[in-house]
Amino acid sequence: MSDSSTDSTSELSFFTKHEFAIRRLHSLTGIIPLGLYMVIHLTTNASLLNGVETFQWAVYLIHSPGQLLPLIEWGGIFAPLIFHAAVGIWIARSARINSSQYPFTSNKRYSWQRWTGFAALIYLFLHIMHLHGGFHADGWLSALNRVGLGQFRPYNAGSTLAAAMKVGFGVLWPAIYLVGVLCCVYHFINGLWTAGITWGLWITPKAQSRATKVCLVLGALLTIVSLSAWSAAVFNSDEDIAEMRAVEDRMYDSAVEGGMVPNNPHKRDLRPGESVDEPADGLQVSNVDLVPAS
C-alpha cells in the first residue's frame, strides 16, 4: 500500500487511542474558554444600548493588558478555537447522521449541532476579517480597508462598529451577523447540554429533562443578549455615528490624561491630516470615508 494509506491509518489510530481524552477536551474548550468568552463578548456589545460611553469603557478595560493582550487572545481564544474546530470537523466527518431515517428530536439536535458548528466557524472567519482584518500588517490592512474591511478601531469602538455594519448597503453584514450569532448561540447551548452527558453530569432521563429546561432558559437569555448586541450595532444613522465618535474622542483624551490607556494612534479612527494629539470633535463620519488608523 502507499505511504498515504499508512499515514491515514496512523492518524486514525492516534485519534482512536486518545478519543476519550480528546472528546472531553473538545467539550471543555467549547464551554471554557470559548463559551464563556462568547457570553462576555455579546454582553459587552449589548452594553452599547446603554450608550457609547458604557461600551467604550468596557473596550478600554478589555485592552488594558496592553502588550499582554495578544498572548491572552492566542492562549485563551484562538488556540482553543483552532483545537475545538479541528476536533469538531473530525467528529463531524466520522459521525453517521441518521436524522432523515430516524427523525427523533435528539437526532435532529445532533445534526443541527454539526451544521451550526460549520456555520459558526465560517461566521467567525468573516467576523474577524470584517472588523479586524485578520493580520496586523500595514499592506494587508490597507488593501482590506479599501474594500471596507478591517475598519474596527478599539479607541473608537462604537462608531467604527456601527459604520462597519453599513458597508454593503447596510444589509449584507447585518444579515451575516444575525445568522452567524444565532448559530453560535445554538451551538453553545446544545453543546453545553451534550457536555453534561460527556462528563457524566446528567445521565438519567430525569436529570436530562432538568438540564434541558435549564439550557432552554439560558438559550433564551443569551438569544435576547445577542439580538440586543446586534441591534445596537445595526440601527444607527450617520448622525448617530458622528455623535458616537465625538464622545469617544473626548473619552480618549480623558483616558490618556488619566493613564488608563496609552496614546496609540493605531487604535483610533483618524482622518486624513488629523493630528494624533488633537481631538476631532464635530467631524462627520460615514461608512464611505473610513480610513486606516495608521
Q: How does pLDDT run across 236-270, given as a tens digit for each residue?
A: 999 999 999 999 999 999 999 888 888 888 899 88
φ, ψ for residue 84 (rounded to 5)? -60, -40
Determine the average pLDDT of the residues in 41-55.
97
Q: Give yes or no for residue 276 having a pLDDT over 60.
A: no
Contact 82, 29 (CB under 8 A): no
* Alpha carbon distance 58, 4 (integer Å): 50
Q: Give yes or no for residue 11 having a pLDDT over 70.
A: no
Q: Calculate the alpha carbon distances from 229 to 47, 74, 131, 162 in Å.
A: 7, 24, 15, 11
Q: What is the mean pLDDT of the chain?
A: 86
pLDDT, greater one: 83 or 8: 83
pLDDT, greater one: 166 or 290: 166
Structure confidence by residue, pLDDT tens digits, 143-177? 888 888 999 999 999 999 999 999 988 899 999 99
Determine the average pLDDT of the residues in 52-56.
97
pLDDT, greater one: 238 or 104: 238
Residue type, 197: I
Contact 122, 85 (CB under 8 A): no
Residue type, 171: V
According to DSSP, residue 76 is labeled: I
Computed from CA positions of residues 56, 179, 130, 274, in that sequence, does the dihedral angle turn out positive or negative? negative
Cα angle: 23, vertex 30, 220; to 5 degrees = 130
| E strand or H helix at 120 | helix 105-131
Residue 287 pLDDT level (bands cut at 50, 70, 90):
very low
Nearest one of 288, 274, 294 to 241, comparing CA atoms: 288
35-43 long-range contacts, CB within 8 A, separation 24+: 35/188, 35/191, 35/192, 37/76, 37/77, 38/184, 38/188, 39/222, 39/225, 42/181, 42/222, 42/225, 42/226, 42/229, 43/225, 43/229
Cα angle: 137, vertex 142, 143; to 5 degrees = 105
Q: Give yes or no for residue 6 having a pLDDT over 70.
A: no
Determine the pLDDT at residue 9: 55
Domain map of the chain by residue range?
3-267
Rounded to two decimals, the pTM is: 0.84
* Alpha carbon distance 243, 231 (integer Å): 18
Cell of 122: 465560517
Contact 56, 100 (CB under 8 A): no
Nearest one of 91, 110, 120 to 191, comparing CA atoms: 110
Determine the pLDDT at residue 262: 87
33-37 long-range contacts, CB within 8 A, separation 24+: 33/76, 33/77, 33/80, 34/77, 34/80, 34/81, 34/84, 34/188, 35/188, 35/191, 35/192, 37/76, 37/77
* 205 CB neighbour count, 10 Å cutoff: 8
Q: Look up cell 480618549; give the residue.
A: 252
Q: Give yes or no for residue 116 having a pLDDT over 90.
A: yes
Is CATH 1.20.1300.10 the right assignment for the domain spanning 3-267? yes
Q: Give yes or no for residue 55 having a pLDDT over 60.
A: yes
Determine the pLDDT at residue 252: 95
Nearest one of 161, 166, 144, 168 to 245, comparing CA atoms: 161
